[in-house]
Structure 1
Amino acid sequence: MKADLKNLVELNSSKRSKTFAIVIQLLIILSVVTFSIETLPNLKPQTRVILNSIETFCVIIFTFEYLARIYVADSKPKFIFSFFGIIDFLAILPFYLSFGIDLRSLRMLRMFRLFRLFKLVRYNKALRHFGNAMMMAKEQIILFMVITLMLIYFAAVGIFYFENEAQPEHFSSIFDSLWWSIVTLTTVGYGDVYPITMGGRIFTFFILIIGLGIVAIPTGIISSSLTKAVEPLEEDQA
């Protein structure tokens, strides 16, 4: 029985396993869609009953999947504290908490239902490649994030000294300047806060040039890692 169950819940070449994987993926998408529909205003009580029924059904299946994976795991603690084990747990957590906690007063707990989207990674080869690429490039990504945070702070300090006297309402402190720094370095530029002094404008020009480079760096890192992640699989298939 344990071997049959393991063959069912763990993705492999068997027809039963593939069917189970497709069903789980469809339920994940269905639960996310119903979660979105629940946010619509003025829903009829009958509609909410249907949505709650769908949610209950999905959670029952997800709970069975989670418990089955624990049961068939070679190392149960290793699975429980693994990436997918934590995702599976968080995907069903809000439903069971709702029995003891009023989720209307703790609306953020509903956000945990979005973790169901991460369950798709287990069944999607392309998403697994992306996950492997992120793991391969984690050191470069961490280095990039550290440098980016340093540049954001540097830009905030610089624009503060250029614009503080001219616009004390927008650049009253370095902390207020951080918003301008973030939207400028990421080249978003909402336009709600902008420099008016000559020095601030020149400084902003160089920050924008640096921002263009910052946007391009992660693309190159991830693209290179994706290539490295996919190449071994292509060689094995060849």
Structure 2
Amino acid sequence: MRAADHSETGSAAQKRLRQLLDGRDDRWGAMPVLFLHGLIVASAMSYAMLTVPGLPDWSYTALMAFERFVAVVFAVEYGLRLYAARHRLSYILSIWGIIDLLAWLPLVILELSGAGALRLLRLLLLARMLKLLGHSAAMDRLARAIRSVRHELTLFFVVAALMLYVASVGIYLFEHDAQPDVFTSVPAALWWSVVTLTTVGYGDTVPITTGGRIFTGGIIMLSVGVFAVPAGVITSALISPDIEDIEETLEKIETSEQKTRNQRRAVAKSNKPHTN
């Protein structure tokens, strides 16, 4: 979820625009958000139809025209969010700023280059689909939980990277002489390490020596424990009292803002001139 901007910084137009884009406007409510979400779903269906062979030429033309329309809408949204942002550089570099940019920029680049590489539209589609999570309370809670354990997760990724390297070197030493065409180098063995440590086990590269098999068994046993760490850490953070306190604080702020908006509407109605 995009963090709700409860700050009073910026001009009145910027504050109104932030409320409008986040679905918190007094007049329009959640309609802008619902409209954008509808466009995202329609864009996903449009992309799926673009991959269907045998459709009439006019349908492809219409679908591409719709893709351009959606890109224009998201480009306008990006510009409005950039204008309304309290800290524009922070927004540009934020995860949601990058997602908002990817929702329209790849198609513009393709149009300018004259390339018809529909393959790259998958990236465009992915960014648009991620925008659906921008107003999810559950996603907001997950993001806060991840931020609270970012140091533990950083340590995990360092340990995982070390394990990948050690596994690559180890399997190369055990298997290179027996399978010189498969384990040609340590970088080539990295694919085996990734598949093995994540317990996917495609079976395209397997050890055939006794030492290699024993080494592989040890690596698999270690990976089962190590790669389960992030899920446990994030789950612990999600049920942490600190996260619950943040949730309660945000709910109080939103309740207070709703009461303020209701009071403003009541005052506005009372100040309207009465006609006989």
Question: TM-score range with shorter-chain normalisation?
Answer: 0.7 to 0.9
Range that drifts further, 171-180 or 39-48: 39-48
Provide the TM-score with structure 1 as the length reference. 0.86
Structure 2 match to 1:71? 83
Q: Could you tell me how far 1:30 is from its partner in structure 2?
A: 1.6
Q: 1:83 to 1:96 in 2, by over 3 A?
A: same
What amino acid is the match of 1:129? R
Supply the distance in 2 between the matched residues of 1:201 and 1:91 (Cα, whole angstroms).
Answer: 46
Q: 1:98 to 1:167 in 2, by over 3 A?
A: closer
Corresponding position: 1:41 with 2:53: yes
Corresponding position: 1:189 with 2:163: no
Q: Where does the alignment leave 5 or more consecutive residues of structure 1 unmatched?
A: none
Q: Could you tell me how far 1:6 is from its partner in structure 2?
A: 4.0
What amino acid is the match of 1:179? W
Q: Could you tell me how far 1:221 is from its partner in structure 2?
A: 1.4
Supply the distance in 2 between the matched residues of 1:72 and 1:182 (Cα, whole angstroms).
Answer: 43
Contact 1:164 1:172 in 2 (8 A): yes
Q: Could you tell me how far 1:92 is from its partner in structure 2?
A: 1.3
Structure 1 match to 2:211? 199
Contact 1:66 1:88 in 2 (8 A): yes
Structure 1 match to 2:129? 117
Corresponding position: 1:60 with 2:60: no
Q: Could you tell me how far 1:191 is from its partner in structure 2?
A: 0.9
Q: Could you tell me how far 1:150 is from its partner in structure 2?
A: 0.7
Contact 1:160 1:171 in 2 (8 A): yes
Larger radius of gyration: 2
Range that drifts further, 147-156 or 39-48: 39-48
Supply the distance in 2 between the matched residues of 1:164 and 1:6 (Cα, whole angstroms).
Answer: 59
Provide the TM-score with structure 2 as the length reference. 0.76
Q: Secondary structure at the match of 2:202?
A: coil
Structure 2 match to 1:175? 187
Q: 1:187 to 1:178 in 2, by over 3 A?
A: same
Range that drifts further, 91-100 or 101-110: 101-110
Q: Deviations over 1:133-177 (max 9, x none)?
A: 222222212211111111111111111111122111212221222
Q: 1:141 to 1:67 in 2, by over 3 A?
A: same
Structure 1 match to 2:145? 133
Structure 2 match to 1:27? 39
Supply the distance in 2 between the matched residues of 1:224 and 1:4 (Cα, whole angstroms).
Answer: 37
Range that drifts further, 166-175 or 143-152: 166-175
RMSD of the TM alignment (CA)? 2.6
Q: 1:75 to 1:210 in 2, by over 3 A?
A: closer
What is the aligned residue count?
Answer: 238
Structure 1 match to 2:245? 232
Structure 1 match to 2:267? none
Q: Secondary structure at the match of 2:199?
A: coil
Supply the distance in 1 between the matched residues of 2:167 and 2:18 (Cα, whole angstroms).
Answer: 54
Report the identity percentage: 36
Supply the distance in 2 between the matched residues of 1:166 and 1:109 (Cα, whole angstroms).
Answer: 43
Supply the distance in 2 between the matched residues of 1:179 and 1:99 (Cα, whole angstroms).
Answer: 36
Q: Could you tell me how far 1:203 is from its partner in structure 2?
A: 0.9
